[in-house]
Amino acid sequence: MIYRLLLVIAAAILFVGGTMHAMAFDKTIAAAAQSNLPPFYANSFLALWLIDSVTMVGLGLVFSLTALRPRAASAATIALLALIPAGTAGLLYFYLGLFFAAHMLAGAAASAMVAAMLSSNRTTD
């Protein structure tokens, strides 16, 4: 079914994006160390970097599970979860402009949102 494919696409984008984000953590550590930020803000930056990575991978896993077992999450739950990458994309566009990570997140959010809309119309799995 198409809604399952859309969830797999969203999951793949989020999983790959979260993994790429986490792999860039070494550069983030170097940037924080070279900054003149007070330790609290530098450490908060580092924590938020990894929190974002974990969130993306976690959402990817939830969308994967839902693609495999559609009854694991309702259409409303999928739609609400899709707001997380959508909101993140919006903030990236606002603060960084046209940035590839924002495009990836917007694509994942759109894919999951369409999947939720199609899922709410399904009668069988």
Expressed as residue numbers, the domain containing 78 is 2-120
Query: pLDDT band for position 81 (50/70/90)?
Result: very high
Q: Which of 90, 109, 110, 86 is nearest to 98 (CA)?
A: 90
The mean pLDDT value for 97-109 works out to 95
Q: How many domains does the chain have?
A: 1
The mean pLDDT value for 92-110 works out to 95
How far apart, in Å, are the Cα atoms of 23 and each of 14, 29, 53, 54, 88? 14, 11, 9, 12, 19
Rama region for 25: left / alpha / beta (φ>0; ψ in -120 to 50; rest):
alpha
Does pLDDT of 124 surpass 80?
A: no
Note whether residue 125 is domain-resident: no
**Where would I find the beta strands (DSSP E) of 9-120?**
none
Note whether residue 104 is domain-resident: yes
Contact 93, 102 (CB under 8 A): yes
How far apart, in Å, are the Cα atoms of 38 and each of 41, 48, 70? 6, 15, 46
In this prediction the pTM is 0.88
Provide the pLDDT for residue 34: 93
Between residues 123 and 28, which one has the greater pLDDT? Answer: 28
Note whether residue 42 is domain-resident: yes
Note whether residue 109 is domain-resident: yes
Q: Would you tell me how many other CB atoms lie within 10 Å of the CB of residue 119?
A: 25
Mean residue pLDDT across the chain: 93
pLDDT in tens, 39-77: 999 999 999 999 999 999 999 999 999 999 988 899 999
Tokens standing for residue 102 = 């924002």
**Cα gap 22→58, rounded to integer Å:** 13
